[in-house]
Amino acid sequence: MQYTEFKGKKLSRLGLGTLRLPEKEDGNLSIEEVIRMVDCAIEGGINYFDTAYSYGGEQAEQALGLALSRYPRESYFLADKLPTWRCREKRDAEKIFHQQLQRCRSEFFDFYLIHSIKDERYGDIERLSLMPYLHKEKARGRIRHIGASVHCSPQILRRLLQDYEELEFIQLQLNYMDWEYFRGRELYEIAAEFQKPVFVMEPLRGGMLAYPASSAARRILSEAGTGASFASLGMRFVAELEQTAVILSGASDLRQLQENIQTFANPVLTKEERRAIAGAAEKLRADILIPCTGCDYCSVCPQDIPISSIFQLYNEAAAHDFHCPWTSLSAQYRRFPRNGRDCIRCRRCESQCPQDIPVIRKLAMVDEKYAKLEKEGK
């Protein structure tokens, strides 16, 4: 495992994220599997663990807290995040913070972030007087380092770092597809300009880059000739960025975590791999029509439409030009108990989407495409 120096602390370059922890058939998290993953992570040299209030149907904090409680508190670093969209008034932030400490079975957070700052949420920081409150908790020793997780425009990121110089690090969505497609390079360069360490989320874009839906992209990556897995190539792309401190693995099972740990034993890319990644990124940007990462923040849908699953299905078909794969995929689409036709256009999903996807319009587009192909008998 490689490590990064951060203000006198040695952080593992690979961190364990908890957005996509393994679930049981009933939809609840598998505590036994989470414990196995945490044990594997610590054995593999990981000491940075990241969670959030809403992860795992609000179960991730408790599951992670239970698993980590079996280890000395000084042996790992714990990061959590404050969801401003859950705060109607200033005191809500304090209530959530106390609840998070209880869930995580900890007396303090090593790293605490303002969660998912978007352009339209930027005013929440001032409205809720967040920085004075976070400074107060830091003075009490219940927060060691203050940062922000952002899904915003470069303009807002620059404003954030100018207005709040006390932010010690920034968490960005970075991967080889978003490097140009989602202005990842520009966001990264702004963080570097302000000399803020970058903590990386979605290095595999919600698993999309672990096995790209585009057969053309897979072929390009395979032609690098090194035998490296697609996931390894994606993780190593962000590992080579000089400003990155920690790269979060959103592994959903033990096998994925083990592979990621092995990757970080020697994350250097070859020239052939760098060339292949650039070609695959270009092909993916052309093929993938809905930039969904499967984070499921849109699960707030009051109609229980499985939005991310519908988009994943559509992207897979689109990557194959809607040829033969759609025949089998259409059967899966029909099995969704709810789809675009059940949308009531409340826009709750769009207000939560970190990718700023026009969800309502895209759901209608998918349903329209499905109806057309069904009529054509494809």
| Least confident residue range of 46-60, 227-241, 333-347 | 333-347
pLDDT at residue 214 greater than cutoff 90: no
Closest CA to 110 of 237, 214, 6: 6
Report how far residue 209's alpha carbon sits from residue 232's, in angstroms, rounded to the nearest whole number: 9
Q: Which residue blocks in the chain are alpha helix, DSSP H?
A: 31-43, 55-58, 60-68, 90-104, 124-127, 130-139, 154-163, 178-181, 184-193, 215-222, 230-239, 254-263, 271-287, 307-318, 325-335, 348-352, 359-376
Do 207 and 314 lie in one domain? The reply is: no
154 contacts 123 by C-beta, under 8 angstroms = no
Taking only the tens place, the pLDDT of each residue in 6-20 is 999 999 999 999 988
Do 220 and 302 lie in one domain? The reply is: no
* Residue 372 Cα distances to 311, 318, 360, angstroms: 17, 14, 19
Tally of domains in the chain: 2
pLDDT for residue 135: 95
Do 201 and 334 lie in one domain? The reply is: no
Report how far residue 260's alpha carbon sits from residue 264's, in angstroms, rounded to the nearest whole number: 6
Average pLDDT, the chain: 88
Taking only the tens place, the pLDDT of each residue in 300-339 is 899 888 888 888 778 767 665 555 444 555 666 777 888 8
Asked if the structure places residue 329 within a domain, the reply is: yes
Do 339 and 241 lie in one domain? The reply is: no
pLDDT for residue 328: 52
* Locus of tokens 């759609």: 326
In the chain, % of residues over pLDDT 90:
50
169 contacts 192 by C-beta, under 8 angstroms = no
Asked if the structure places residue 44 within a domain, the reply is: yes
pLDDT for residue 239: 92
Closest CA to 268 of 245, 247, 238, 246: 238
DSSP3 helix / strand / coil % (the chain, rounded to 5): 50, 15, 35
Taking only the tens place, the pLDDT of each residue in 156-201 is 999 999 999 999 999 999 998 888 877 889 999 999 999 999 999 9
More confidently predicted of 135 and 297: 135
- If DSSP codes are grouped into helix, strand and coil, which group holds residue 9? strand
pLDDT for residue 322: 56
Look at residues 231, 257, 287 and tell me which one is the last residue of a structural domain: 287
pTM higher than the cut 0.85: no
3-state secondary structure 244-273: EEEEEECCCCHHHHHHHHHHCCCCCCCHHH
Asked if the structure places residue 314 within a domain, the reply is: yes
pLDDT at residue 357 greater than cutoff 70: yes
Do 221 and 262 lie in one domain? The reply is: yes
Do 7 and 99 lie in one domain? The reply is: yes
Average pLDDT (288-310) is 82
Structural domain range at position 361? 297-376
Do 170 and 310 lie in one domain? The reply is: no
Average pLDDT (37-49) is 95
Look at residues 268, 287, 306 and tell me which one is the last residue of a structural domain: 287
Do 90 and 186 lie in one domain? The reply is: yes
pLDDT for residue 315: 75
